[in-house]
Chains A and B, each alone.
Chain A
């Protein structure tokens, strides 16, 4: 007698429905993606362009983590100053990000640049230009809410090649946009000798990017959690910030979970994003941060010592990561980071902090890969009755 397992069949149907739902949602997302012609109906969202900086708008702009983008754009005009603080001595050569370029001793022309509200467009306005003026506009771009992508095409439309030369640098066709990372590029405009007076020239640079489908998720502060045996919440020590100090630790090897966004030291509110190992031999401790695949760290701060918490300059206990004695800040989206601390003795405490970014489909709230462990999916599948299919 054949037995039909409605529960199992239902599971199949559920899987199909979920898959179709995912397909629909994904397609809907793609259809809703901003395109050049769709902007009218779109609200302001964060598009691929992340920032834009002109090197002749009178101010040196700092962008994290690069620092000064356009050093030399100091608002000065040595022997002639048409624009005052709104512009600087005019650049006479293309500028490389973070490197001073040659400039005339006069502030005659000015270049300003700005992004559209939706970060889909950059507008560059060059005023009072003259032959040999050579401004540069820097920009950053990334795949919004997406971990990776590629620059597939760069097209420069310059209808006035006799009057202008327009070039790009820092970007190229086929260039990967990696791991929720940012690509920085520049547009250089050179006004040529045949340029006419009182003329208006235009140009257009189109950059086509192809982005993946998964999302970058979020970034948050994370702390090593030594479990009930070793971890003590900062909140219990009179601080308002969450986090844990772990100890006392005698010589040995320890692995602690790395939790992000666990407000109130409540791991059910957080995301398990990696782990921290402590290898302590009684005088030297090697502390290593690791995050799960797809996650990355942008900074780490560490305290290792005989006291439960580090102390600030006034000798008071502190939990502010910036005051920890060991720090790697910033880090370039790394997946592992290590410290070796020497001169230790006796039992120690470890406070390990990291700024971590993780992908939405790689953890989030109580739903995270890390919780599943090496065989978590298998156990989950079994729990739904995988074995029963063959009954």
Chain B
């Protein structure tokens, strides 16, 4: 009789232990947690580009104008042979990133020469900076003529 009671209580004890362990395991399982954390990013890009402005004739018979943003129109009327006609203009960085003058391309008629002074290909212009430049042209024969000078700007790191 006493032995039966011992077995019964032993079973109760084991049951209690099993219950305890299972509940603890459940507790651990519930308390393990998952969480998502986040990196939010915003990228605001700059503006970049260059432009020409303030084209002014500095000799007779020549007219200058800017075709925005990067082309200089030059006209010479009744040019005398081998006479130099000149003007000035400005080259600006209109953005917020340093730029570089990648190329300066002349579209000239026959027997006409032209040159740009003050700036040259490869020059860097910082944001807000303005460079003063000059244009000069001549022809080997007396005539009227027009030509254009086109600037190409790129980011300094390209």
Bound-complex Cα distance A351 to B69 (A): 78
Please, what's the 1-or-0 string for B94-106, where 1 marks a CB less than 8 Å from any CB in chain A? 0111100000000
Contact in complex: A12, B12 (CB < 8 Å)? yes
Contact in complex: B27, A197 (CB < 8 Å)? no
A49 contacts across to B, CB distance below 8 A:
37
Please, what's the 1-or-0 string for B1-35, where 1 marks a CB less than 8 Å from any CB in chain A? 00001100110110010011001101110111111
Contact in complex: A204, B41 (CB < 8 Å)? yes
Partner of B32, one of A2, A3, A211: A211
CB proximity of A87 to chain B, nearest CB, Å: 13
Contact in complex: B20, A19 (CB < 8 Å)? yes
Partner of A189, one of B6, B43, B47, B127: B43
Partner of A390, one of B10, B35, B47: B10
Which residues of B (131-158) have their CB < 8 Å from a CB of A? 155-158
Contact in complex: B97, A390 (CB < 8 Å)? no
Bound-complex Cα distance A15 to B15 (A): 12
Q: Knowing A26-B27, A120-B37, say if A12 contacts B45 (CB, 8 Å).
A: no
Q: Knowing A210-B33, A390-B6, A390-B10, say if A197 contacts B45 (CB, 8 Å).
A: yes
Bound-complex Cα distance A22 to B25 (A): 10
Bound-complex Cα distance A127 to B45 (A): 6
B97 contacts across to A, CB distance below 8 A:
108, 128, 130
Partner of A29, one of B9, B12, B31, B37: B31
Contact in complex: A48, B37 (CB < 8 Å)? yes
B19 contacts across to A, CB distance below 8 A:
15-16, 19
Q: Does B111 sit within 8 A of A, measured CB to CB?
A: no
Contact in complex: A125, B42 (CB < 8 Å)? yes
Bound-complex Cα distance A8 to B8 (A): 13
Bound-complex Cα distance A202 to B96 (A): 20
Q: Knowing A5-B9, A23-B27, A389-B10, say if A209 contacts B32 (CB, 8 Å).
A: no
Q: How many residues of B contact A (CB 8 A)?
A: 44
Q: Knowing A197-B45, A197-B48, say if A22 contacts B23 (CB, 8 Å).
A: yes
Contact in complex: A202, B42 (CB < 8 Å)? yes
Interface pairs (18), CB distance under 8 Å: A5-B9, A15-B19, A15-B20, A36-B38, A128-B45, A129-B43, A129-B45, A163-B43, A187-B39, A189-B41, A191-B45, A199-B44, A201-B42, A202-B41, A202-B42, A203-B43, A208-B35, A213-B27
Q: Closest A residue to B98 by CB, please name it.
A: A80
Contact in complex: B26, A207 (CB < 8 Å)? no
Contact in complex: B38, A30 (CB < 8 Å)? no
CB proximity of B6 to chain A, nearest CB, Å: 5
CB proximity of A38 to chain B, nearest CB, Å: 10
Q: Does B36 sit within 8 A of A, measured CB to CB?
A: yes
Q: Closest A residue to B28 by CB, please name it.
A: A213
A127 contacts across to B, CB distance below 8 A:
44
The 10 closest A-B pairs by CB, nearest first: A26-B31, A213-B31, A19-B23, A205-B39, A124-B41, A23-B27, A12-B16, A26-B27, A126-B43, A128-B46
Bound-complex Cα distance A197 to B13 (A): 75
Contact in complex: A35, B24 (CB < 8 Å)? no
Tell me the A residues contacting B by CB distance below 8 Å: 2-3, 5, 8-9, 12, 15-16, 19-20, 22-23, 25-27, 29-30, 33-36, 47-49, 80, 82, 92, 104, 106, 108-109, 120-132, 137, 139, 141, 152-153, 163-164, 166, 187, 189, 191, 195-213, 389-391
Additional A-B contact list (11), CB under 8 Å, known A137-B39, A207-B38, A210-B35: A26-B28, A27-B27, A122-B37, A124-B42, A131-B155, A187-B39, A198-B47, A200-B45, A207-B39, A208-B37, A211-B34
Q: Knowing A22-B23, A33-B35, A213-B32, say if A108 contacts B98 (CB, 8 Å).
A: yes
CB proximity of B48 to chain A, nearest CB, Å: 6
Contact in complex: A211, B23 (CB < 8 Å)? no
Which residues of B (73-100) have their CB < 8 Å from a CB of A? 95-98
CB proximity of A159 to chain B, nearest CB, Å: 11
A211 contacts across to B, CB distance below 8 A:
32-35
Most buried by B among A23, A109, A130: A130
Contact in complex: A16, B32 (CB < 8 Å)? no
Q: Closest A residue to B12 by CB, please name it.
A: A12
Contact in complex: B37, A141 (CB < 8 Å)? yes
Most buried by A among B24, B30, B48, B158: B30
B126 contacts across to A, CB distance below 8 A:
80
A29 contacts across to B, CB distance below 8 A:
31
Contact in complex: A130, B44 (CB < 8 Å)? no
Bound-complex Cα distance A343 to B126 (A): 67
Q: Closest A residue to B17 by CB, please name it.
A: A15
A26 contacts across to B, CB distance below 8 A:
27-28, 30-31
Bound-complex Cα distance A199 to B48 (A): 12
Contact in complex: A206, B44 (CB < 8 Å)? no
Q: Knowing A15-B20, A19-B27, A391-B6, say if A47 contacts B43 (CB, 8 Å).
A: no
Most buried by A among B9, B34, B37, B155: B37
Q: Knowing A128-B97, A132-B157, A206-B38, say if A23 contacts B30 (CB, 8 Å).
A: yes
